[in-house]
Amino acid sequence: MKCLVTVILFFLWMVSFCSCRLLSEATGRRFNVLDYGADGNGKIDATPAFQKAWGDFCQASEEMPTLVVPAGNTFLLKSVTFSGPCMSKNPHVLIEGTIVAPDSFDSWDGDDDYENWIGFTAVFGLMVDGGGKFDGQGEAWWKACNDNDSACSNRRQALHFNKCNGLRLSNLHHVNSQRGHISINACDDVQLSNLQILAPDESPNTDGIDISGSNHVNIQDSFIGTGDDCIAINGFSTYINVTGVKCGPGHGISIGSLGKDGAYETVEEVHVKSCALKGTQNGVRIKTWEGGSGYVRKITFEDITFVNSENPIIIDQQYNPNGIRGSPGIKISDITYRNVHGSSADEVAITLDCAGKAACTNIVMDNVNIISSNPGKQIRASCNNAKGTAISASPMVPCLSS
């Protein structure tokens, strides 16, 4: 009997041992940047150590190798691009600590990349998470912009993903970028979730998330409050879903601007749902330049709430801040606003400013109810050259049939 018990216990131990080993092999090796000489005090440039760690990590061929940025440490990085393709199909970057950018102009001397701070290029199946933080320390650059200083033109986008199909970015904090915080370019099958993106409302051009040339992008369950667009969806982007995002301060959730300098650009199949915008300069916006060409179509804004937002609903098909006249060309069609409620800080709560020839067609307002943020004050809608249907819309939209 004792022998039988011993055999059973040995068998169970072997099963446990093998399971742990298989799990360890399944999750892959861990490449800790501290092991490559990175200093975690936030004062010494850790860029070379990160590059060395990335080199080994990207060559690991097993299932889900992990590049570790450990908790309790702050790492100073200058401009760096982490390039693929990597050997593994699902490389994992675990950011538990804090990554900071240099906070003064002099600290960037010798750095020729004026576009991006941290970039990932052609890394397929990339997962980035861990609860850590990116701090762009952009205050000096914001001041330069407000003072019309030439240093303003050297601001960097904080986190840039280019051709990273299958990207999964989640559970991270992004603060105080010099310019935009996260940009997604030429990517397919992207999931962004549980992100917190913050910058002061007076910080110029600090977009939360910019999307361009990308398909099948899902953004969900995130909080974004910055000095510019919470989310901007730019040219040649399709099948973009934005769900459960809280926005404010900022310039709202925007499609565009599109068609600058006569460019041909398209956006379609964008669906924004269950989002709340508070104290924003715009609500949900479509903006195209006069003189551009292309189209914006099949767009849905559903279950949207505004609290004291300026321009809650706005289509500006004739954007022309420079006063240079051009022929309208970007066609806007099949735009639906459904179950949209809340309060407007402006007298004009709905603006449909469409061009004569291109016009805006099949605009649908279905259960839209916006009131003034100021008790007792009346609000109204303004529209030019927009065609479509209003099904229970307040304020009344005169150019749409009921």
State the alpha helices, DSSP H only, in 60-152.
Answer: 139-146
* Confidence category of residue 168, pLDDT binned at 50, 70, 90: very high
Mean pLDDT lowest among 4-18, 72-86, 114-128, 228-242: 4-18
Q: In whole angstroms, what is the distance from residue 19 CA to residue 28 CA?
A: 14
Q: Which helix (H) or strand (E) holds 50?
A: helix 47-59
Task: Give residue 326's pLDDT.
Answer: 63
* Confidence category of residue 108, pLDDT binned at 50, 70, 90: confident
* Confidence category of residue 106, pLDDT binned at 50, 70, 90: confident
* Confidence category of residue 74, pLDDT binned at 50, 70, 90: very high
Task: Give residue 107's pLDDT.
Answer: 85
Residue 25 has pLDDT above 70, yes or no: no
The closest alpha carbon to 297, from 213, 353, 251, 359, belongs to: 359
> Which residues are CB-contacts of 17 (< 8 A; sequence separation ≥ 6)?
none
Task: Give residue 22's pLDDT.
Answer: 37
Task: Give residue 110's pLDDT.
Answer: 67
The closest alpha carbon to 256, from 220, 282, 219, belongs to: 282
- What type of residue sits at position 324? I
* Mean pLDDT within 41-64: 97
The tokens for 325 are 């006249």
Residue 392 has pLDDT above 90, yes or no: yes
* Among 160, 174, 181, 251, the one annotated catalytic: 251
Tens digit of each residue's pLDDT (9 = 90 or more) over 9-22: 444 444 444 443 33
**pTM as predicted:** 0.92
Tens digit of each residue's pLDDT (9 = 90 or more) over 263-289: 999 999 999 999 999 999 999 999 999
* Mean pLDDT within 223-237: 98
Mean pLDDT lowest among 72-81, 198-207, 324-333: 324-333
Q: In whole angstroms, what is the distance from residue 386 CA to residue 332 CA?
A: 9
Task: Give residue 320's pLDDT.
Answer: 81
In the beta sheet, which residues pair with residue 116?
A: 157
Task: Give residue 264's pLDDT.
Answer: 96
* Confidence category of residue 313, pLDDT binned at 50, 70, 90: very high
**Tokens 């941290």 belong to which residue?**
118
Express as a percent the part of the chain with pLDDT over 70.
91
Backbone angles phi, psi at 203, to 5 degrees: -80, 120
Q: In whole angstroms, what is the distance from residue 51 CA to residue 75 CA?
A: 13
Q: For residue 142, how many other CB atoms are within 10 A of its CB? A: 23
Express as a percent the part of the chain with pLDDT over 90.
83
Measure the N-to-C terminal CA separation of the chain; round to a whole number of Å. 85
Task: Give residue 358's pLDDT.
Answer: 67
Mean pLDDT lowest among 93-97, 143-147, 163-167, 247-251: 143-147
* Mean pLDDT within 339-368: 94
Tens digit of each residue's pLDDT (9 = 90 or more) over 294-311: 999 999 999 999 999 999
Q: In whole angstroms, what is the distance from residue 118 CA to residue 169 CA?
A: 14
Task: Give residue 318's pLDDT.
Answer: 86
Cα-Cα-Cα-Cα dihedral sign, residues 88, 89, 91, 92 = negative
Q: Tell me how far CA of residue 211 lies from CA of 82, 100, 239, 306, in angstroms.
A: 20, 23, 11, 23
* Mean pLDDT within 249-273: 97
Task: Give residue 8's pLDDT.
Answer: 47
Strands 209-212, 182-185: pairing kind? parallel
Q: Which helix (H) or strand (E) holds 20?
A: helix 2-27
Task: Give residue 70's pLDDT.
Answer: 98
In the beta sheet, which residues pair with residue 133?
A: 98, 173
Question: Is-catalytic flag, 271?
Answer: no
> Which residues are CB-contacts of 297 (< 8 A; sequence separation ≥ 6)?
268, 331, 332, 333, 334, 335
Strands 116-121, 80-83: pairing kind? parallel
Residue 147 has pLDDT above 70, yes or no: yes
